[in-house]
């Protein structure tokens, strides 16, 4: 973000509170389908459907956050010229604001598909399991929230999209954005 005047009034919190909140959020959403209390237990979903429901909810949480952040961040800037400009905004300004770094690599087929790669995705950086494949599997639910973040940010800028993550080689994470036209 540019204006240093705006930064002076910005509040900060320790990064570990965000990490801890996300860990518990993912756990809570993943368990809520099978919990015995609340209204959700009656739906009788299978494991796969549970996981999907949890993924969808986490994605929606991210969507709302991404939308709110972007609305505030872009309030005073001129309209973006095209979709590429918008994606560049995500790669630079948005990623900087959220993760203190930029996206490492951006690829596009010029037909509405963009692939963003973060080689050391912050929220995966301390994850590990017995094997690389297992780590990727366990990390996958944690990709729902950032996917939602991106989709929400894009939506705040007026473009509808589908965002999916590919997690195979943690801490690397790849986000694929497909614009709906």
Partner 1 sequence: MQGTPQPRATAASNQPGARAKAAGEDIWKNRTDKINAELFTLTYGSLVAQLVKDYEDYAEVNTQLDKMGYNIGTRLIEDFIAKSGLTKCGSFVETADVISKIGFKMYLGITPTITNISQDQKEFSLILEDNPLAEFVELPEDAVRDGLWYSNVLCGVLRGALEMVLLQVECNFVADVLRGDEVTEIRVRLVKVLDEEVPAADE
| Binding-site ranges for partner 1 (CB under 8 A) | 10-18, 20-25, 27-29, 32, 37-40, 57, 60-61, 64-65, 68-69, 72, 97-98, 100
Residue 159 C-beta-side C-alpha neighbours within 13 Å: 26
Between residues 95 and 114, which has the closer beta carbon with respect to partner 1? 95
Other beta carbons within 10 angstroms of residue 105's beta carbon come to 13
Query: Using an 8 Å Cβ cutoff, are 42 and 124 in contact?
Result: no
User: Minimum distance between the CB of residue 8 and partner 1, rounded to whole angstroms?
Assistant: 13
| 43 burial level (CB within 10 Å; 0-12, 13-18, 19+) | exposed
User: Minimum distance between the CB of residue 98 and partner 1, rounded to whole angstroms?
Assistant: 6
The side-by-side arrangement of strands in the sheet containing 105-108 is 105-108, 113-118, 173-179, 161-166
Between residues 18 and 162, which has the closer beta carbon with respect to partner 1? 18
Between residues 80 and 99, which has the closer beta carbon with respect to partner 1? 99
User: Minimum distance between the CB of residue 158 and partner 1, rounded to whole angstroms?
Assistant: 20
User: Minimum distance between the CB of residue 181 and partner 1, rounded to whole angstroms?
Assistant: 28
């Amino acid at each position: 973000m540019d204006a240093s005047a705006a930064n002076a009034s910005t509040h900060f919190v320790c990064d570990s509170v965000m990490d801890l909140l996300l860990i518990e959020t993912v756990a809570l959403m993943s368990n809520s389908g099978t919990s015995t209390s609340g209204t959700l237990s009656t739906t009788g979903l299978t494991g796969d459907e549970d996981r999907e429901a949890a993924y969808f909810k986490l994605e929606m949480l991210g969507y709302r956050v991404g939308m709110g952040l972007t609305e505030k961040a872009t309030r005073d800037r001129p309209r973006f010229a095209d979709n590429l400009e918008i994606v560049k905004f995500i790669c630079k300004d948005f990623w900087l604001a959220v993760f203190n770094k930029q996206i490492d690599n951006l690829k596009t087929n010029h037909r509405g598909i963009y692939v963003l790669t973060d080689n050391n995705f912050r929220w995966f950086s301390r994850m590990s399991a017995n094997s690389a494949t297992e780590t990727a599997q366990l990390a996958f639910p944690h990709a729902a929230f950032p996917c939602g973040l991106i989709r929400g940010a894009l939506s705040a800028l007026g473009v509808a999209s589908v965002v999916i993550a590919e997690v195979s080689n943690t801490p690397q994470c790849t986000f694929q954005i497909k614009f709906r036209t």
